[in-house]
């Protein structure tokens, strides 16, 4: 029997309409590229997004055309999300930290019709002159007073504020198919060329609804949310859609992501919730320690993108800030797992509670997970058995843009994440490694993430990477490479001693290198392939 409920499509424009109608005077505060802090609200954002939609269509863009963005977190970037998606175009967020050749490749592959860039990124675009594919205009996200001269070899530069001023705000958002694309983001892949993930209106709205839940970001009309995670990396984890959905105040940090700048903005605006990768929180915590600052209104931070070290959770919680460890991927919108305790965990002692909090979390409703062994069988949910983590759900990619033939899933209907994981009887998943990074020593697994977490819990260690090095006797052995905190001194023996009693003896790396810095991907993850190349030659390393 067919049900008799209204078939109202889930569209991102409806989120903004709702925010403008019921939370019109709720603030959106951005640190601008030009310098000053800018203040607006949801009603004004809606008006400007409608002007922008008209301006984009006037440039000749048609349904499904891509609008590229090279921009920090700001109200203008937010307007672009809604104007492009809402008008039936696709907002293609480009990660400016990728190599210039990759950026040119992505712009060409996405066939971006227009690029919208912060002033900061104009030199980058000038370096790509002549390689911008179908781009017919570059909209500079600034006002007339800050417009730069037209550089040679680039498509015409247009002034964002002038374009908006020239349009009327009476645009009606079209009734689109909820399965049509509204966003595009390329993976920052540690190996291989970046691949495009096309988000739909439906997937973005459902994902945002999941983000707001108490056991996820816990957002409501009284929240003040600051996405530190960039809007060019998986839609800032859905916050640009989730915050307006519930009428939360939004605080956008712009280009300045150091501890001092983040803290200043947080304190001034009463930020209660923030989200970002561990590297950002490491900088923030170090700055807090040096200056004896307090976290103010900050109550909760979501940490993910790479494993959140246990010691980071410990330090934040000691300040009264609860940590939500979460797991996700570009292909999963990104949220799939979030770590909130269950009622039965209330009595856990502090060490056991931290152990639990350091896991990546439980599946959100809407994202299903399986862990398969090499033969394709589900491994037991005992918290110990490892396997390949698979996921499926309405906000998980089914294929990559332009690679529709090679569907993104390995087993029918399931997306292969490329992570190795365990799950316990309560559904808590621990990520052990990327499939290609896992260390197999004498036929047994060693988790590089577990070893890295122990290394960074040493007060003198700033960052640590563990990779497999070939070994004649054991097949592979772990090699630890560490970067020390500025001014700290420590030798390999002292690092090794720190592992004693914290992990099985045969897991302890016999080779430990202390280096100045480690290579990272454009999203701040360790570039393990490069670290192996640099340090993991068998001849240079002893057998245990
Ligand atoms: P990306 O698509 O660039 O966001 O990268 C996704 C990958 O980041 C995942 O497949 C994981 O390997 C890793 N990742 C994300 N969140 C976590 C986390 N909380 N712990 C460990 N690895 C993570």
SS3 string, 317-343, reads: HHCCCEEEEEEECHHHCCEEEECCCCH
Least confident segment among 87-96, 180-189, 344-353: 180-189
- The pLDDT of residue 312 is 95
pLDDT band at 369 (very low <50, low <70, confident <90, very high): very high
Q: Report the largest interatomic distance among the alpha carbons of the chain, rounded to a whole angstrom.
A: 73
**Ligand 1, closest atom to CA 521?**
3
Can 440 be counted among the known catalytic residues?
Answer: yes
Q: What CATH number has the domain bearing residue 34?
A: 3.40.50.12780
Can 528 be counted among the known catalytic residues?
Answer: no
Residue 169: inside a domain: yes
Tens digits of per-residue pLDDT, 412-426?
Answer: 789 999 999 999 999
Mean pLDDT for the stretch of residues 357-368: 97
For 36-50, b where at least 16 C-beta lie within 10 A, e where not — what string?
A: eebebbbebbbbbbb
Question: How far from 60 is each of 83, 136, 198, CA to CA, in Å?
Answer: 15, 10, 22
H helix count then E strand count, the chain: 16, 26
- The pLDDT of residue 436 is 83
Q: How far is the CA of 444 from the centre of ligand 1 (A)?
A: 23
Q: How far is the CA of 149 from the centre of ligand 1 (A)?
A: 40
Residue 168: inside a domain: yes
User: 181: part of which helix (H) or strand (E)?
Assistant: strand 181-186
Which structure tokens are listed for 240?
């640009």
Contact in structure between 353 and 211 (CB atoms under 8 Å) = no
pLDDT band at 438 (very low <50, low <70, confident <90, very high): confident
- The pLDDT of residue 91 is 98
- Hey, whose CA ends up nearest to atom 3 of ligand 1? 188
| 92 pLDDT above the threshold of 70 | yes
Of 95, 306, 308, which is best to mutate to test ligand 1, by the most ligand atoms within 8 angstroms of its C-beta? 306
pLDDT band at 229 (very low <50, low <70, confident <90, very high): very high
Mean pLDDT for the stretch of residues 223-244: 97
Q: How far is the CA of 417 from the centre of ligand 1 (A)?
A: 9
Can 445 be counted among the known catalytic residues?
Answer: yes
Mean pLDDT for the stretch of residues 66-91: 98
d(CA 138, CA 117) in angstroms, rounded, equals 7
d(CA 275, CA 253) in angstroms, rounded, equals 12
Q: How far is the CA of 544 from the centre of ligand 1 (A)?
A: 31
Residue 96: inside a domain: yes
Q: How far is the CA of 383 from the centre of ligand 1 (A)?
A: 19
Tens digits of per-residue pLDDT, 477-513?
Answer: 999 999 999 999 999 999 999 999 998 899 999 999 9
Q: Which of 331, 452, 463, 476 is catalytic?
A: 331
Residue 354: inside a domain: no
pLDDT band at 297 (very low <50, low <70, confident <90, very high): very high
Beta strands in 207-332 (DSSP E): 224-227, 249-252, 273-276, 300-303, 322-328
End residue of a domain, out of 139, 170, 201: 201
Least confident segment among 49-63, 418-432, 462-476, 528-542: 528-542
Mean pLDDT for the stretch of residues 277-289: 91
End-to-end CA, the chain: 68
pLDDT band at 539 (very low <50, low <70, confident <90, very high): low
d(CA 136, CA 147) in angstroms, rounded, equals 18
Note the residue count of the chain.
544
Dihedral (C-alpha) 185, 188, 192, 196: value to the nearest 10 degrees? 0
Which is more confidently placed, 408 or 400? 400
Report which DSSP code applies to 144. Answer: G
Contact in structure between 150 and 169 (CB atoms under 8 Å) = no
Q: Which of 101, 290, 291, 440 is catalytic?
A: 440
| 464 pLDDT above the threshold of 90 | yes
Residue 207: inside a domain: no
| 521 pLDDT above the threshold of 80 | yes
d(CA 368, CA 336) in angstroms, rounded, equals 8
Q: What domain range includes position 166?
A: 1-201
Residue 523: inside a domain: yes
pLDDT averaged over the chain?
94
Domains contained in the chain, number: 2
End residue of a domain, out of 183, 201, 219: 201
Residue 130: inside a domain: yes
10 Å CB burial of residue 225 (0-12, 13-18, 19+) is: buried
Contact in structure between 76 and 99 (CB atoms under 8 Å) = no
Of 302, 305, 367, 453, which is best to mutate to test ligand 1, by the most ligand atoms within 8 angstroms of its C-beta? 305
Q: Is 307 in the pocket of ligand 1 (CB under 6 A)?
A: yes
Contact in structure between 469 and 511 (CB atoms under 8 Å) = yes
Q: How far is the CA of 156 from the centre of ligand 1 (A)?
A: 38
Secondary structure (DSSP) of 351-370:
HHHHHHHTS-BEEPTT-EEE
Mean pLDDT for the stretch of residues 51-78: 98
- The pLDDT of residue 529 is 86
- Hey, whose CA ends up nearest to atom 8 of ligand 1? 305
- The pLDDT of residue 409 is 55
Which structure tokens are listed for 382?
């005992």
| 543 pLDDT above the threshold of 60 | no
Q: Which of 445, 474, 510, 525 is catalytic?
A: 445
- Please give, one letter per residue, the 3-state secondary structure of 416-446: EEEEEEEECCCCCEEEEEEHHHCEEECCEEE
Contact in structure between 141 and 158 (CB atoms under 8 Å) = no
**Residue whose pair of structure tokens reads 């937010």 in the numeric block:** 78
Can 405 be counted among the known catalytic residues?
Answer: no
pLDDT band at 120 (very low <50, low <70, confident <90, very high): very high
d(CA 365, CA 397) in angstroms, rounded, equals 16
Residue 16: inside a domain: yes
Mean pLDDT for the stretch of residues 269-289: 94
- The pLDDT of residue 542 is 61
Q: What CATH number has the domain bearing residue 502?
A: 3.30.300.30
Report which DSSP code applies to 67. Answer: E
Of 361, 11, 360, the residue nearest 200 (C-alpha): 11
Phi, psi angle pair for 113, to nearest 5°: -85, -30
End residue of a domain, out of 201, 226, 253: 201
pLDDT band at 70 (very low <50, low <70, confident <90, very high): very high
pTM > 0.85: yes
Contact in structure between 160 and 115 (CB atoms under 8 Å) = no
3-state secondary structure of 280: helix
| 191 pLDDT above the threshold of 60 | no
10 Å CB burial of residue 60 (0-12, 13-18, 19+) is: exposed
Q: Is 232 in the pocket of ligand 1 (CB under 6 A)?
A: no
Strand partners, 220: none
Which residues make Cβ contacts (< 8 Å) with residue 331, sequence separation at least 6? 187, 197, 396, 397, 408, 415, 417
């Amino acid at each position: 029997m067919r049900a008799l409920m209204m078939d109202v499509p889930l569209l991102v424009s409806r989120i903004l309409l709702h925010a403008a109608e019921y939370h019109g005077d709720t603030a959106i505060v951005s640190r601008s590229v030009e310098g000053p802090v800018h203040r607006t609200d949801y009603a004004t954002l809606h008006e400007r997004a409608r002007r922008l939609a008209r301006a984009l269509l006037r440039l000749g863009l048609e349904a499904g055309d891509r609008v590229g963005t090279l921009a920090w977190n700001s109200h203008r970037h937010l307007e672009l999300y809604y104007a492009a998606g809402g008008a039936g175009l696709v907002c293609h967020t480009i990660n400016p930290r990728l190599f210039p050749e990759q950026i040119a490749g992505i712009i060409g592959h996405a066939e971006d019709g227009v690029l919208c860039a912060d002033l900061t990124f104009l030199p980058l675009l000038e370096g790509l002159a002549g390689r911008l594919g179908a781009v017919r205009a570059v909209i500079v996200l600034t006002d007339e007073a800050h417009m730069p001269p037209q550089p040679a070899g680039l498509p015409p530069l247009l002034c964002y504020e002038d374009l908006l001023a020239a349009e009327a705000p009476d645009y009606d958002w079209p009734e689109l198919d909820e399965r049509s694309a509204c966003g595009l983001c390329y993976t920052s892949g540690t190996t291989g060329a970046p691949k495009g993930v096309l988000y739909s209106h439906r997937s973005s709205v459902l994902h945002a609804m999941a983000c707001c839940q108490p056991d996820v970001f816990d957002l409501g009309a009284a929240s003040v949310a600051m996405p530190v995670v960039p809007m060019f990396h998986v839609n800032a984890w859905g916050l640009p859609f989730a915050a307006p959905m519930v009428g939360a105040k939004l605080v956008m940090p712009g280009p300045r992501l150091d501890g001092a700048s983040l803290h200043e903005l947080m304190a001034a605006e009463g930020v209660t919730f923030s989200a970002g990768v561990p590297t950002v929180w490491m900088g923030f915590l170090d700055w807090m320690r040096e200056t004896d600052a307090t976290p103010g209104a900050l109550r909760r931070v979501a940490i993910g993108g790479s494993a959140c070290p246990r010691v980071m959770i410990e330090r934040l919680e000691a300040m009264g800030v609860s940590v939500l460890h979460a797991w996700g991927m570009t292909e999963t919108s990104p949220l799939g797992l979030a770590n909130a305790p269950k009622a039965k965990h209330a009595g856990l002692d502090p060490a056991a509670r931290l152990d639990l909090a350091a896991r990546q979390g439980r599946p959100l409703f809407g994202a299903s997970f399986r862990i398969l062994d090499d033969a394709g069988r589900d491994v037991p949910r005992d918290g110990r058995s490892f396997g390949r983590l698979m996921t499926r759900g309405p906000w998980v990619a089914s294929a990559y843009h332009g690679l529709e033939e090679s569907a993104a899933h390995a087993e029918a209907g399931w997306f292969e994440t490329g992570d190795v994981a365990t799950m316990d009887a309560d559904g808590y998943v621990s990520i052990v490694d990327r499939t290609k990074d896992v260390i197999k020593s004498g036929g047994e697994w060693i988790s590089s993430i577990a070893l890295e977490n122990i290394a960074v819990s040493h007060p003198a260690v700033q960052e640590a990477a563990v990779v497999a090095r070939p070994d004649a006797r054991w097949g592979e052995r772990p090699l630890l490479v560490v970067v020390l905190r500025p001014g700290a001194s420590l030798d390999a023996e002292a690092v090794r001693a720190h592992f004693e009693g914290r992990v099985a003896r045969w897991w302890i790396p016999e080779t430990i290198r202390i280096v100045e810095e480690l290579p990272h991907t454009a999203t701040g993850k360790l570039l393990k392939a490069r670290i192996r190349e640099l340090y993991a030659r068998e001849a240079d390393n002893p057998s245990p």
